[in-house]
Amino acid sequence: MTYSVGLLAVILFTFITHKIGQFTGLSARIEILSFYKLHYLASGFVLAWFFPSSFMVIFENNMGIVLLFCLAWIGLFYGCNIEIRTHQKYPLKTFLFHLAEPLIVFIFTALGGILYIYTKYNNIRYIDVVLITAVFSSITLFKRHNIPYREGEVAFHSVINDLLPARNIFAIILLCIAGSLLYSTGEFVLFGQIFTGVFPFFIFHVIAGSGLGIVLSMLMRGASTTDSMIIVLIGMTAVTGGIAFIFSFSPLFLGMISGMFLINSTLKRLQIIEALSISHEFIEKIFMFFLGALLMMLFTSNTVNPGIIFAGATGIVIIRSLLKYFLASLWVTRFNGYHKGTSLLWAGLTGQGIIAAGAVVEYRLRLPHMPSVFLLLIVLLILNQTVTGIYVLKNR
Amino acid sequence: MPNIISFLIIIVASLTGIKSDYVTNPLLSFGLLIVLAYLFANMMRFFRLPGFLGYILAGLLAGPNGLGFFHEKIPDSMSLIEGLCIMLIVSNAAGLMLKGKSPALFSRYFFSGVLSSLGTMLLTTGFLAPVSIPLQVKIILGLFAATFSPMMTFAYTGHDESHGDFTKTAFGGFICAIILWGILMPILEQPFPGRLKLVFMPAVIGVTSLLTGFVWAFITEKLLYRKSQGMRYFFPLAVMFLIYPCCREIGLDYLFVAIGVGVYYGIISEQSENITLRTELPALIVFCFFGTKLSVIDALLLGNAGWKIVILLTLGILFNRIITLKLSMKLFAAKTGPSLGLIHLIPYGPLSVLLLMRFLPGFSAVPGGEFDKFRVLSICTTSIILTIIIASFIQIFADILKSKEQTNML
């Protein structure tokens, strides 16, 4: 009976969403949010709402596996977006902007957070939470439209469009290392040997990722059809996720390295990207649905105060948006490289896509006992996406 | 060559993983299974055999009865994925069977399947009469022989229009087998009040589930479907995902719900052309899982089965099925089909095992209790492997004959 009520709720929710979608005036206003698959997140959220005790036993049992798989997939997808030869033509000035911009946002957000914590608690006991939130706020994690044909663009500023993959790789490495250092024991046990520190963390990821990339590349050579490529990609993503779980690696980072290796070593680049894109839409939706369900489950647990989380996230979004706007204006007006206006660059810098959602879930997997960090980051992500959507819409 | 090297790398890594007890993670096992299945499918294609045989072989090798990449508990935790994949393939097969075909023609093939299933059951039970096993076991083996597997037939013939009618026949045989299992189960039980009511239970559940699936497909198409490129691929999965747990809650049969959905898409739906299903991956998962349920030890060493019964049963199945199929097709479908084409109807598939696993525990009247049930299961799974091997050899033989004929014609 409970399930039937939930089922009716989902149908009603989807029906209403579709009905709203039929009003072109209204749907045009929220269309940009569907790019982030926020409606799937909402759908998972609503479905879980009707099952506060147990949503669906089989579903919940498999939730961790599915999320781990999705993380490895997202990493692989973005890794395949990083072709080294396409990133060699950009001037140093543009590269510097992409390095300096997140650093400035990180410094300001971290300082603000530390000051707030210090004034409130008179000590710095939540410094790790502040640092991770600042890292997360500083970066822009986004994706390209229509990558199979290499004609796609993020519909924002060309600076973002050109260097987005380079930004993403930097951001993922940063997020994974920060997450690992702050929230894991800092130890890797590999075949009986214990390793500690950033260097082994990085090196082992690169070795394991490259190894998986080599196997993937060899398997791809024998795949002739799109379907067989999809099978190989899905199988190897599952292997990547499983290995990441066993050795406490980051599935996002590991997937990204194997994807990067694959795309730079293969002769079937376009076919692989086509196969990836077909499956990616699918997996993205499933991931956002599961994320919505996970979010609701944590909201209903009594340990978290949603009001404080929401207020904190709103504050961070405002500070972050202002900083990004200031830096975007500075870039457009002072460095005078582009003439498309500040707003597009700002919107592009503010947006955080599915890869950022992946990073949030990775923290959740690393930190099962701290749901508040996950909630803060996820609300931050949703607000960033919404703000970008609204701004793009306004400027259309 | 790269495929062979990657195969060796995966096997060595997996064996090292098993030795170090790393391969207990469900995701890793699942990934290894998929990659192995892909490699084995390529190997099968090299021998001009259908790729899904490679999936079964991979499941057999990686399963708990093989090398053990896949632990016994893991398939249980993957039941959601397996269930969804089965639903997707079954609804797709049902939709394709009915799309644009005349109901009269469909019913001809369907009834030839029904007749064939009934005939096979009676003949196989008779065939086993001289064997010194209890009557109940003989009837169970007869019922198993009568269980056609439309999914296996669909996998064999799915891409070949000229063999499409075999799927309809297998579907008829499958439905008849369900009814036979359902009727005979309460009859073989010890007498208890209301026993006869149970006879109609499978039919009632089947019809209710079918109608529910039909109505569900209608509701989802009207309320959830949207014309967009993303929805084209995502919609079938969403439809099945939402109804799957409901089947468990209410007591519906998910297989019949899927058939109902397929019937709606095949006969009524206006959007079926816009909905695309990529069946390659679901087929891989279903056939791999099917492989994990078979026992390579039983097939090679015959641990629990017995050579005599297995050989008798396999020969009985082959002989009786071919005879009954030829006869029933002549009676109903007015077409015997190419004689070697009938081999597509012989091998057992995932749906036969599903039915066996569902009904066999219900036979509490089996003499010898759980031990005999386990033995019956071993006999059946060993026969499944043997029929698949025989069908594969016949297919290779047919291919050789065909290529020789073509050479002669040239």
Chain B interface, best mutation among A219, A240, A249, by max B CB count within 10 A: A219
CA-based nearest distance A158→chain B, Å: 26
pLDDT at A199: 72
Model confidence at B339, pLDDT cuts 50, 70, 90, reads low
| Residue of chain A whose Cα is closest to the Cα of B33 | A235
pLDDT at A163: 58
Which range among A37-46, A147-156, A359-368 shows the weakest confidence by mean pLDDT?
A147-156
Residues B135, B146: Cα–Cα separation, whole Å: 16
Residues B110, B114: Cα–Cα separation, whole Å: 6
Q: What is the mean pLDDT of residues A136-164?
A: 56
Q: Do B281 and A227 touch (CB under 8 A)?
A: yes
Q: Is the confidence at residue B221, as pLDDT, over 50?
A: yes
Q: How many CB atoms within 10 Å of residue A120?
A: 9
pLDDT at A149: 38
Q: Is the confidence at residue B286, as pLDDT, over 80?
A: yes
Model confidence at A150, pLDDT cuts 50, 70, 90, reads very low
Q: Is the confidence at residue A345, as pLDDT, over 80?
A: no
**Residues 132-191 (A) with a CB less than 8 A from some CB of B:** 191
B381: which 2 tokens? 């799974």
pLDDT at A152: 44
Q: Do A69 and B27 touch (CB under 8 A)?
A: yes
Q: Is the confidence at residue A148, as pLDDT, over 50?
A: no
**Any idea what the Cα angle at residue B82 is, between residues B244 and B173, rounded to 5°?**
85
Q: What is the pLDDT of residues B256-282, one digit of tens each?
A: 888 888 888 888 777 666 666 667 888
**Residue type at B129 in one-letter notation:** A
Q: Quickly tell me which residue has 């999965």 as its tokens.
A: B237
Q: What is the pLDDT of residues A244-258, one digit of tens each?
A: 888 878 888 888 889
CB of A114 within 8 Å of a chain B CB? The answer is no
Comparing CB atoms, the residue among A56, A58, A239 nearest residue B32 is A239
Residues A129, A127: Cα–Cα separation, whole Å: 5
Q: What is the mean pLDDT of residues A303-324?
A: 81
CB of B212 within 8 Å of a chain A CB? The answer is no
Residues B148, A290: Cα–Cα separation, whole Å: 37
Comparing CB atoms, the residue among A10, A218, A236 nearest residue B5 is A218
Q: Do A230 and B78 touch (CB under 8 A)?
A: no
The values of phi and psi at residue A295, to 5°, are -60, -45
CA-based nearest distance A62→chain B, Å: 7
CB of A222 within 8 Å of a chain B CB? The answer is yes
CB of B8 within 8 Å of a chain A CB? The answer is no
CA-based nearest distance B221→chain A, Å: 11
Comparing CB atoms, the residue among A222, A227, A238 nearest residue B30 is A238
The fraction of chain B above a pLDDT of 70, given in percent, is 74
**Residues 280-309 (A) with a CB less than 8 A from some CB of B:** 281-282, 285
> Which of residues A148 and A179 earns the better pLDDT score?
A179
Q: Is the confidence at residue A173, as pLDDT, over 60?
A: yes
pLDDT at A147: 43
A353: which 2 tokens? 């896509």
The fraction of chain A above a pLDDT of 90, given in percent, is 2
B275: which 2 tokens? 């909905």
Q: What is the 3-state secondary structure (H, E, C) of B231-265?
A: HHHHHHHHHHHHHHHHHHHHCCCHHHHHHHHHHHH
CB of A215 within 8 Å of a chain B CB? The answer is yes
Q: Which of A90-99, B67-76, B184-193, B257-266 has the highest mean pLDDT?
A: B257-266
Query: What is this structure's pTM?
Result: 0.81
Q: What is the mean pLDDT of residues A184-188?
A: 60
Q: What is the mean pLDDT of residues B328-333?
A: 75
Residues B56, B61: Cα–Cα separation, whole Å: 9
Q: What is the mean pLDDT of residues A228-242?
A: 90
Q: Is the confidence at residue B242, as pLDDT, over 80?
A: no
Residues in B touching A7 (Cβ below 8 Å): 242-243, 246
User: What residues does A189 pair with on adjacent strands?
Assistant: A194
> Which of residues B161 and B64 earns the better pLDDT score?
B64
A129: which 2 tokens? 């939470």
Q: What is the mean pLDDT of residues A141-160?
A: 51
CA-based nearest distance A61→chain B, Å: 7
CA distances from B172 to A87, A273, B99, B143, B146 (A): 59, 42, 17, 15, 11
Residue B315 near residue B64 (C-beta atoms within 8 A): no
Q: Do B79 and A68 touch (CB under 8 A)?
A: no
Residues B360, B372: Cα–Cα separation, whole Å: 11
Residues in A touching B224 (Cβ below 8 Å): 11, 14-15, 18
Residues in B touching A65 (Cβ below 8 Å): 26-27, 30, 77
| Residue of chain A whose Cα is closest to the Cα of B236 | A282
Model confidence at A281, pLDDT cuts 50, 70, 90, reads confident
> Which of residues A19 and B327 earns the better pLDDT score?
B327
| Residue of chain B whose Cα is closest to the Cα of A222 | B3
CA-based nearest distance A58→chain B, Å: 6
**Residues 143-172 (B) with a CB less than 8 A from some CB of A:** none
Q: Which of A20-34, A95-109, A355-369, B27-41 has the highest mean pLDDT?
A: B27-41
Residues A304, A195: Cα–Cα separation, whole Å: 35
Residues B95, B272: Cα–Cα separation, whole Å: 9
Q: Do B28 and A243 touch (CB under 8 A)?
A: yes
Largest CA distance in chain A: 63
CA-based nearest distance A231→chain B, Å: 6
**Which class for A180: exposed (0-12), middle (13-18), buried (19 or more C-beta within 10 A)?**
buried
B281: which 2 tokens? 């991956």
Averaged pLDDT score across all residues of chain A: 74
Residues B215, B273: Cα–Cα separation, whole Å: 19
Q: Is the confidence at residue B43, as pLDDT, over 70?
A: yes
Model confidence at A237, pLDDT cuts 50, 70, 90, reads very high
- Count of CB contacts below 8 A, A vs B? 129
CB of A237 within 8 Å of a chain B CB? The answer is yes
Residues in B touching A258 (Cβ below 8 Å): none
CA-based nearest distance A48→chain B, Å: 13
Contacts of A97 (CB under 8 A, 6+ apart): A159, A331, A335
* Sign of the dihedral through C-alpha A193, A194, A198, A199: negative
CB of A207 within 8 Å of a chain B CB? The answer is no
pLDDT at A51: 64
Q: What is the pLDDT of residues B6-24, one digit of tens each?
A: 666 666 666 666 666 665 6
Q: Is the confidence at residue A377, as pLDDT, over 50?
A: yes
ipTM above 0.90, yes or no: no
Q: Is the confidence at residue B190, as pLDDT, over 80?
A: no
Chain B interface, best mutation among A234, A237, A247, by max B CB count within 10 A: A234
Model confidence at B229, pLDDT cuts 50, 70, 90, reads low
pLDDT at B138: 83
Residues in B touching A48 (Cβ below 8 Å): none
Residues A348, A341: Cα–Cα separation, whole Å: 12
